[in-house]
Chain A
């Protein structure tokens, strides 16, 4: 009787434990990658139907967490890293997805807007972003974190840039080099 009770407890707790461990795993991967990533690497927070790409430079991880939760964790990690900053890219299609076709999209858009306030955001057609990502992944690694999101065109593409150098400084440097 006692054994059966233990067994039932194990059966009940195992999925919870597994999901907790999975949660820790993607966060650890994210931490590890941010330290070695630099400008031209990408981190993507993708909806659940995003395909696993065959390019070995693209590492796809199933997080099992909500889209906003994963995005928040990614942005926090990048903000805390002195060597990189995020250039955020969103699908331009997202604005045209209706609540009737994809319940929850309005709430998502509102949350996303709040989360990305004061961030450098580019909006581009989905196919164009994918093409840029594919081009980048030929040379530089990409971490793709899949969330449990079931609304299309909600993926957030983050292209990393140097955290301690910018376009103005680069322009000054190039000018000085020409002299």
Chain B
């Protein structure tokens, strides 16, 4: 992060609803190890061709709600949610609106499997994953840092316990 003044002026380009169509198309072909990221606006566009970046123009929680619903409705996948550990330390004074966001996020992720990791560590995992598996990155109009929500997809009809039993049977 370079030294500089933060901006307050806002001019929002139109995002449209094309991203919803893209999301609907990606979910059936995505499987475990693919990622869907709902990112704040200043998240960079990565040059890795496996990462598809779309500016939605929508609100962070609205975009997240749509993504979670799409995943919930898909029988073949489930979401492992990852959040930046830094988010809890962003103050309302430095980023007005962060408290309301945290509250809204907590409500939205109730009963969900959530991991909290340092931003750079999540980015590293995402970069590693994107070398082999596609990532859909949906940018919202959010202007608070460390608010991105990283959804690592997992198999919807298999879990760690079943896998452990299988491996045990394999050995036996």
Interface string of B139-169 (1 = CB under 8 A from A): 1000111100000000000000000000000
Q: Which of the candidate stretches A5-13, A64-72, A80-88, A100-108 sits at the interface with the other chain? A: A80-88
**A contact face: mostly helix, strand, loop, or mixed:** mixed
Q: Which of the candidate stretches B20-28, B74-82, B87-95, B102-110 sits at the interface with the other chain? A: B87-95
What is the interface residue range for chain B against chain A? 35 or more
Q: Tell whether, in the assembled complex, residue A139 and residue B42 are in contact, meaning their CB atoms are under 8 Å apart.
A: no
How distant is the Cα of A141 from the Cα of B49 in the complex, in angstroms?
Answer: 10
Q: Tell me how far the C-beta of B164 lies from the nearest C-beta in chain A, rounded to whole angstroms.
A: 35
Q: Tell whether, in the assembled complex, residue B145 and residue A164 are in contact, meaning their CB atoms are under 8 Å apart.
A: yes
Q: Which of the candidate stretches A15-23, A34-42, A91-99, A149-157 sits at the interface with the other chain? A: A34-42
> Could you tell me which A residues sit within 8 Å of B by CB distance?
31, 33-41, 55-57, 79-85, 87, 120, 137-142, 159-170, 172-173, 176-177
> Could you tell me which B residues sit within 8 Å of A by CB distance?
1-13, 15, 39-49, 53-55, 85-86, 89-91, 94-95, 127, 139, 143-146
How distant is the Cα of A39 from the Cα of B3 in the complex, in angstroms?
Answer: 12
How distant is the Cα of A35 from the Cα of B4 in the complex, in angstroms?
Answer: 20
List, in ascending order, chain B residues with CB within 8 A of A41's CB: 44-45
- Assuming the contacts A140-B47, A169-B94, asked whether A82 and B4 have C-beta atoms less than 8 A apart, the reply is no
Q: Tell whether, in the assembled complex, residue B4 and residue A87 are in contact, meaning their CB atoms are under 8 Å apart.
A: yes
Q: Which of B7, B53, B91 has the most CB of A within 10 A?
A: B7
- Assuming the contacts A35-B55, A167-B2, A167-B4, asked whether A176 and B89 have C-beta atoms less than 8 A apart, the reply is yes
How distant is the Cα of A139 from the Cα of B49 in the complex, in angstroms?
Answer: 10
How distant is the Cα of A41 from the Cα of B53 in the complex, in angstroms?
Answer: 13
List, in ascending order, chain A residues with CB within 8 A of B41's CB: 38, 82-83, 164
List, in ascending order, chain A residues with CB within 8 A of B139's CB: 35-36, 38
List, in ascending order, chain A residues with CB within 8 A of B44's CB: 37-41, 139-141, 160
Besides A35-B139, A36-B45, 8 new A-B residue pairs in contact (Cβ under 8 A), listed by A number? A35-B13, A36-B55, A56-B49, A120-B2, A120-B3, A160-B44, A166-B2, A177-B89
Q: Tell me how far the C-beta of B6 lies from the nearest C-beta in chain A, rounded to whole angstroms.
A: 5
Q: Tell whether, in the assembled complex, residue B1 and residue A161 are in contact, meaning their CB atoms are under 8 Å apart.
A: yes
A137's nearest neighbour on chain B, judged by CB, is: B47
List, in ascending order, chain B residues with CB within 8 A of A142's CB: 47
How distant is the Cα of A56 from the Cα of B9 in the complex, in angstroms?
Answer: 33
Q: Tell whether, in the assembled complex, residue B11 and residue A139 are in contact, meaning their CB atoms are under 8 Å apart.
A: no
Q: Tell whether, in the assembled complex, residue B4 and residue A139 are in contact, meaning their CB atoms are under 8 Å apart.
A: no
Q: Tell me how far the C-beta of B119 lies from the nearest C-beta in chain A, rounded to whole angstroms.
A: 10
List, in ascending order, chain B residues with CB within 8 A of A34's CB: 13
